[in-house]
Amino acid sequence: MKLRSAFVSLALVSALAVAACGGESESEEAAEQSATPAQARAEIGEVRKALDTAVGQLREGDAKAADNTVSEGYLEHFEKVEGPLEKVDKELNEKLEDSIREQLREKIQDGGSVAEVTQMVAAIKTDLATAEQKLQ
């Protein structure tokens, strides 16, 4: 009985560890890689909305919500842009990935001003517009 409990505990801990690491199922990963350019362009629109929402949250003084919104926008929407964009412009894809996932979130987490974050968001949106054109 103790051995069975140990196996159940180990299975639970393993499942939680995979979830905590953000492990994606193969089907989710395949869906991201197989998005069409049209789907990717639609997702870019959702990324823009998330960025605008985050700036509004920061203006209201809620940096934590802004950070969460950027993170969610990246995970839920930009991830679906990466596959198609990488096929047409790998450098731009990497630039956007770093800008959104790392640089913007760091700026928000480090207490960057609304003006600084707004400036970064404007630069990201310019790159998103370029990505949209390349995905035509």
Please write the tens of the pLDDT for every residue from 91-100.
Answer: 999 999 999 9
The one-character DSSP state at 22 is: T
Do 84 and 40 contact (CB within 8 A), yes or no? yes
Nearest partner of 32 among 120, 96, 24, judged by Cα: 24
CA distance 76 to 103: 18
Average pLDDT over residues 123-131: 98
Does 6 score more than 90 pLDDT? no
Do 55 and 66 contact (CB within 8 A), yes or no? yes
Nearest partner of 128 among 20, 58, 33, 43, judged by Cα: 43
Does 18 score more than 70 pLDDT? no
- Structural domain spans, the chain: 1-26, 35-134
pLDDT band at 34 (very low <50, low <70, confident <90, very high): confident
List the CATH code of the domain at 35-134: 1.20.120
pLDDT band at 13 (very low <50, low <70, confident <90, very high): very low
Higher pLDDT, 109 or 3: 109
Taking the whole predicted model, whether its pTM rises above 0.75 is answered as yes
pLDDT digits (tens, 9 = 90+) for 67-106: 999 999 999 999 999 999 999 999 999 999 999 999 999 9
